[in-house]
Structures are given as C-alpha cells and as structure tokens.
Structure 1
C-alpha cells in the first residue's frame, strides 16, 4: 500500500472562481447550475492543482496523488490536463486557468473567491438507508449446479434474469447494484439470482453456455412456483430474458430490457477493429482480472461506467473481484460473444419495453435499436446517459424507474 492509499481522506472542500465550482464533497465540477462531466482522474488532477494553487505542482506529485504511485506514462497526465482545460474552456495556448511550468509541472492560476460557509448550500448527505431485508435460498439445476436466488419486497413478482458480476450477499450494499434492488423492490416482490459461476451460486460449474443460463432461469422460476410474471433483463441477461420469453409465452406477461443486445460482440463484429476489440476483452480478463493492480479491471469500469465517479469505479473494481474468478470471467466473455437471439426475438409475443443509454460505450445504442426492430410489440426509450450500467444518482436512473413502473402498471 502506498502512502497515498493509506492516508486518511481529505475533508470535503468547495472552491469557486469565475462562475465555476469544484465541490469535492459532491465530487462535482459545476459551471453555474450545470454539472460538467469529467472523468475521475481529471477531477482529481483539478483538485490537486486548485488545493495547491499558491505554487506549481510537480508531475511526480500528480502521479503519486492521482495514480497512487503506479507507473503510467507522461501521456496519461498530459491527456488529463488537456481534458481539465477543455472542461474549463481553457487550452494550452491561453493557459487561463492551468499554467504549464515547462519540464516541471502545472499550476492553477485562476482567481479563487474567498471560501464561504457552504453548510447551507451543500448540506451533509443523508446517510444511506439500511439495505432491504432479503430472503436467500438455493435450488439445483438439472446438472446439479447449485443456484442462489433472493426475494426482496412485497407485491406482484418481478423477475430479473441473471447477468454476470452479481453477488446476492453484496449487491444490496454495492453502489453498482443497491439502487436496483432498492427501487425495483418498492412495489414488487423482486426476484433475482446469481448466474452459475458467480456470487453465491456454484463457481465450479462444468457448463456455462447460453442454454445453461436459460435453463437456470427456468429452474429458479420452478423453484418459486411462479406462473405469470414480468421479466427484466440487463446487459447480456437481456438475451437470456428474450430467449425465455420466446419459449414460455404463457408465463411472461411483460418484458423489460436494459442495455441489452441480440448479438454478442463476436457475432456482430464486422470490421477488423471490432474483431480486435472483442479479442481484447478476453485478453484483459485473462491477464488482469485476478491481479492486485486494478488498472486492467478499470478498463471494464471505463466501459460500463464512463461517467461514474472515482468511488463508482472503485466499487466496480471490488464487484469484479468479489463476484467471480478470472477463469470464469474469460468463459463468460467468450460465451457472451457468441450470443445470437435474433430468431427468438422475433418470436416474443408479450409487450416489451427496451431502455438503452443513448451513448452507451459498452453496447452502442444501435444494438438496442436492432432489438426494437426484431421484437414485434416493443417500444424503445433512449436514456440520456453514457453508462452501460446506470448509476443511482444520475437523472437517467429516475427516468428508467418511472418508465418501468408505468409500463408494468399498464393493463394486460
């Protein structure tokens, strides 16, 4: 552990200059009332420069404070400085706010306003509510693989088809998934389960094919004695949900898909660049998943949560390590790439709501549009987000919840 990692967190601060606000308590850069989206490392670079505005900050200090002493090339720092300047309407020529000290480092040269008491303007965030109470149970798939499932909340059932990187015991407190469990269980008996190879389900399952995943959903539904219910599918779980709905039209009343796709990356890769990107996914999982250095896993964080805060990225890193093994991660990614439910999508007979982030980096919007074109009775809602997995504090999440509840409340 480096000294930067072991030091206690600095107290929250708010700095103001020429209409800009840098608020470390909220992890926000604002211009007036508008939040300026910047990557976590860009925010951290700005914080270091502004908190030491009375002097220049050396490159070595920035490497230590922002990257924790890990080796990164100078190009990484240069790109973050460029992004910080762009966020402030600055550039390398005018250097209105960030001055380059040639060969040494950088200095913030904006005129800061005197610090004020921000207690009234930015009250302490309310403590997180207690995680919802859940009942966890187990059942056995046809090949004797143990599957863990959980039930949270009261009301009519809502089943979520499993997707990877879940852990029933951890999701209710993880920033990545807790808002899903909390909000989906407000009006429903929310039922979810860990995919084979993940979380509390058996990690050493011999089979991990798409057909196994569909069969596992069938197993959980039978274990709970469910007859008719709406089905939710997220990311690759969307393809599982599509296949199940096509095969069991008598059971699925409504289908909700988020960040889903009909074709996996290997199937839809047409150009050499797309094929290389699909192969790189596997290489990153093989090389980096089990390492202590989070740099490899943060590539996935940048794809799934490009607009997430540094805390979101750290939570995603923890989720990856807790939920499955490096070996399983590679198996899953290989199988995800081979998914193709285009034929089954055309056989879905229930009303379907498809929600997709407009600027999804992991699964581009056009693949949500493809699903909407394939499923007969479907409606597509574009969400104003860059994230593949919606975070609990972005506006798109509230839109998602509102759309889902209105859709599920419609008469059959």
Structure 2
C-alpha cells in the first residue's frame, strides 16, 4: 500500500490546515466534505478503495476541513467562504498552477465556487453525490426537525454509544455492512466535536451555488446514485443541467458513499479515469454494473434563471403553485411570476407545454 505524506499550511485567518499527498501523475485535488480525518480514513473499508485507485494514476491531494482531523479543531470562523479559501490555501502552498478538482457531497459546491472565483486554475471537474443547494434551501426538512437533529448532535456526538452518529451513517450508506457502519460511526467521532459537527451541518444547509453554475467553464463530469438517501438524485441532475456541457452519469444504488463492493463502483471509476484522461466517453462496462447513463443534459436556454429552472422542474413534476412555494420557501405570488416568465421564455401557451419543454431539456 502506498504511503501518504501529511503536510500543513496556513489559511488566510491563521487556521492550520492539514493536507495529504499520495501517488504520482497529474494533480487531482479533492475538496473537503462531511468530516474527514486524513489518517483514520486512509485505512478504512469505506474510503480506502477511492484513494488507492485514484492515486494509481494521479497525484492525489486531500485535506482535512477546518475543525476536523489534523487541521485546527478550534477555529475563528466556520463558513462556506472559509472552506473555499482553505482549498485555495492548500493548492497555493503546494504551488499548483493547474490541476483537476474532485468534489464529493458538499465538496461539489466548494469546487464549483473555487473555479468561478479562480478562472484558469482548474482543468477538469468531477462531482459525485454533490448538490447545488443545502438542506435548508431545497426544502424537505422542517426547521423543527433540523434543530432537533442539531440538539442531538451537540449532546451525543462524542459518546462511545454510536446511537447519535448512526442517524447520519444510516443515511450516508444504508447498504453498508456492520463493519463499514461501525467504522463510519468511529470516523465521525474521532474527526471532530459535536459542536463543530453541528456548525458544519448548519453551514452545509445554507449552501446555494445555483446562481454561479452557468459560469463554471471547465469540462465537468457529474455522477450520482439514483437512490441516494442523503442527497436526492435530482440534485445531481440539476448540477449537470446548469453547468455548461456537463456530462451526467446516473449510478445504480442507494449509498451516498460509494462502496467497493457495489456494482456501480467499477462504473464510476472507469468514467472518472476516462474523463480525467480526456479519453472518449466510456460505454463498455460490465452488464452486472447496471450503469444508468443519461448522457449529457441538453443546456437550458440562457435566459432562464436558476430559480426559474427550479420552478420549471417542479411544475413539470405536476406540483401546484402552492406546492412549489412551500418547497422553495417563497410566496405563491412569486411562484406565479416565475411561471409567467417561464411560459414567455419557453414560448409555451400553458403548463402542459412548459412541462413538455422541460422533458426535452432533461429537466423532468
């Protein structure tokens, strides 16, 4: 097994960030995601296959998010902007002028934001299980439910009893073995404190990169498990539809964290390798892998705003203005205005024609 080299750099506010380098080849930088520990996850049954395989072909750079792992646990600020800044601190410390980016889960929003803020630095972007909008922005959870989990997180995170952390583990990998679930429970405990886990979760919930996705100007591959229980499949489709020219590959499975035993794993790995090397799109995968490839999503017209795309998707799903308002946390009058604009911009006479337009553009 390869050995990783762990180094440290300093972020703009003085926070010490730990990062690891392993492998040989073109640089591939992984943006941070929900709680990491560079050393603990290196030998894990959940992450090991990812890092070993990617390091065979690339110089893989990972880092512990501030407040987690070997990075400073006590930090001045925990925010989305500091996360993006920490990514910049790592690549600048290494001296990388050009590199490819890999974003898993929340790392997708961090990666896309870095690209828009730092033009000309990134060659290619791979997103897996990523989302453009956090839990609070996309709806689906009431404020009361969200705060209840926050309270449990702060109170029970560091206990030996994994009951509190199991809430997250079960959603991240419902198909995991007992060993894999136990390991992930331990990873969460050793990675950070309950207070910091709650801060990270609250920050994730407010993520919203929809307005900038049209400015992501690098070749992009988006992969997402169709039955993902943590981040809805629709979030991956939305990313791919709004990033110009992005290729979208749906994967069979329900785990947010793709495990080595899943048939979708060799599919994802083949897609990533082919994409990063610039080879033609991979199609020759084993039937047992159950690849679901919906191809490149047709770009929506440039004059449809990200919010209008959201409304159009929900409209095409048959939701009423009241339903859409509740899901997007906006008023019914605002929804009505968006629908009026959508009908005009798509040259649709009614909602049925708008839904047909959505289907033609991969938004249904």
The bucket for the TM-score relative to the shorter chain is 0.7 to 0.9
Q: What secondary structure, in the 3-state scheme, does the structure 1 residue paired with 2:82 have? A: helix
User: In structure 2, how many angstroms separate the alpha carbons of the residues matched to 1:345 and 1:288?
Assistant: 37
Aligned: 1:230 with 2:96: no
Aligned: 1:149 with 2:19: yes
Map Cα deviations across residues 302-334 of structure 1 (whole Å, 9 max, x no partner): 100000011111011111111111110000001
| 8 Å contact kept, 1:290–1:321 | yes
What is the deviation of 1:289? 1.1
What is the deviation of 1:275? 4.3
Aligned position for 1:178: 48
The verdict on how the C-alpha distance between 1:175 and 1:411 changes in structure 2, with shifts beyond 3 A counting, is closer
2:227 aligned residue (359, 364, 388): 359
Map Cα deviations across residues 158-202 of structure 1 (whole Å, 9 max, x no partner): 010111321111121011211111111010000111100010000
Structure 1 runs (4+) deviating above 4 angstroms are 273-277
What is the deviation of 1:274? 4.7
Aligned position for 2:251: 383
What is the deviation of 1:142? 0.9
Aligned position for 2:181: 313
Aligned: 1:255 with 2:255: no
Greater Cα radius of gyration, structure 1 or 2 = 1
| 8 Å contact kept, 1:257–1:353 | yes
Aligned: 1:292 with 2:160: yes
User: In structure 2, how many angstroms separate the alpha carbons of the residues matched to 1:392 and 1:281?
Assistant: 30
What is the deviation of 1:287? 2.8
What is the deviation of 1:373? 1.5
User: In structure 2, how many angstroms separate the alpha carbons of the residues matched to 1:375 and 1:276?
Assistant: 33
User: In structure 2, how many angstroms separate the alpha carbons of the residues matched to 1:180 and 1:362?
Assistant: 19
The correspondence of residues 195-274 of structure 1 with structure 2, limited to 5 A, is: 195-269=65-139, 273-274=141-142
Aligned position for 1:401: 269
2:208 aligned residue (323, 340, 345): 340
1:303 aligned residue (171, 195, 200): 171
Aligned position for 1:80: none
Aligned: 1:192 with 2:62: yes
* Structure having the larger proportion of residues in helix: 2
Aligned position for 1:26: none
Indicate the larger mover: 283-292 or 249-258: 283-292
What is the deviation of 1:226? 0.5
| 8 Å contact kept, 1:199–1:323 | yes
Map Cα deviations across residues 5-50 of structure 1 (whole Å, 9 max, x no partner): xxxxxxxxxxxxxxxxxxxxxxxxxxxxxxxxxxxxxxxxxxxxxx
Aligned position for 1:105: none
* Structure having the larger proportion of residues in strand: 1
Aligned position for 2:317: none
User: In structure 1, how many angstroms separate the alpha carbons of the residues matched to 2:272 and 2:151?
Assistant: 36
Unpaired runs of 5+ residues, structure 1, are: 1-129
Q: What secondary structure, in the 3-state scheme, does the structure 1 residue paired with 2:215 have? A: coil
Map Cα deviations across residues 126-184 of structure 1 (whole Å, 9 max, x no partner): xxxx3x21111101011110000111000111010111321111121011211111111
Unpaired runs of 5+ residues, structure 2, are: 281-364
User: In structure 1, how many angstroms separate the alpha carbons of the residues matched to 2:33 and 2:198?
Assistant: 15
Report the count of equivalent residues: 280
User: In structure 2, how many angstroms separate the alpha carbons of the residues matched to 1:198 and 1:167?
Assistant: 7
User: In structure 2, how many angstroms separate the alpha carbons of the residues matched to 1:249 and 1:380?
Assistant: 23
Q: What secondary structure, in the 3-state scheme, does the structure 2 residue paired with 1:346 have? A: helix
